[in-house]
Amino acid sequence: MRIFHMLAITFYAGVIILIGIGLIALSFNLLLPEHIMALNDYMLANQFNRWAVRLSGLLVIIISYSFAQLILGRMQREKTIAFTTASGEVTIALSAIEDLIKHSGYNIPEIRDLNSDVIANKKGIVVNMRVTLRSEANLPELTARLQEITRNKIQEVLGLEEAIIIKIHISKIVQREDKDRRRKDSVKEEPAIPFGGFGRV
């Protein structure tokens, strides 16, 4: 597959250079519509040329797919924390740390919703949290507790010694009473149907 990756990079560099040259040629009036039509006629001239064009198209699709995999694979690979043991390497996806933060955050009853974004850089691990709280929460106390719990949990579960910076953004505060009232309203008693019970034994 490595050969496809090499081909993909060369191919994309080549295509982009060709587009650039084509645009420059167009601007200098060196590339005329007749030239493009002539190329089109040549490609469709006989069965051999048509097959060559079809196979080239197929190759382009395979190379593009390979290129996309390469890029996505690199992106995924970068988003991990790695350490080595005697038996091999252990990598922990940053999304796994996000799961961990979510689970530990939901143990605090004042938190209604929690989303986090974890970044690992030279400074350490930076956690950006977006939290929806219930109204009765004391914000300074709660946020301090949340930071403490998250930091302890990350250190305890992942055994990391890096600095952990936790930033909390409270995106919403929800009124619990309002929510309960709304829930009660939605379960209103249905109006009695006249003679609804008539005839029942």
Partner 1 sequence: MVFGEETRSDLGAIKIYKSAIASLVSIAAAEVDGVKGVSRGAWIRFLELWGAKVNRIKVEIDRHSNVYVDLPLVIKYGYHAPDVANKVQENVRHAVEKATNLSVRDINISIRSIERP
Shortest Å distance, C-beta 128 to partner 1: 18
Minimum CB distance to partner 1 smaller for 108 or for 158: 158
Residues facing 128 on adjacent strands: 117, 167
Q: x/- contact string, 156-185, with partner 1 (CB under 8 A)? A: xxxx--------------------------
Binding flag, residue 115, partner 1 (CB under 8 A): no
**DSSP per-residue letters across the chain:** -HHHHHHHHHHHHHHHHHHHHHHHHHHTT-S-HHHHHHHHHHHTSSHHHHHHHHHHHHHHHHHHHHHHHHHHHHHHHHSEEEEEETTEEEEEEHHHHHHHHHHHHTTSTTEEEEEEEEEEETTEEEEEEEEEEETT--HHHHHHHHHHHHHHHHHHHH---S-EEEEEEEEEEE-HHHHHHHHHHHTPPPPPPTTTTTT--
Residue whose CB is less far from partner 1, 117 or 170:
117
Ranges within 1-20 binding partner 1 (CB under 8 A): none
Q: Does 69 bind partner 1 (CB under 8 A)?
A: no
State the nearest-atom distance from the C-beta of 90 to partner 1, in Å: 4
Interaction residues for partner 1, span 130-149 (CB under 8 A)? none
Position 88 contacts partner 1 (CB under 8 A): yes
Q: Which of 100, 125, 131, 142 binds partner 1 (CB under 8 A)?
A: 100
Q: Which residues bind partner 1 (CB under 8 A)?
A: 80, 83, 85, 87-93, 95-97, 99-100, 103-104, 156-159
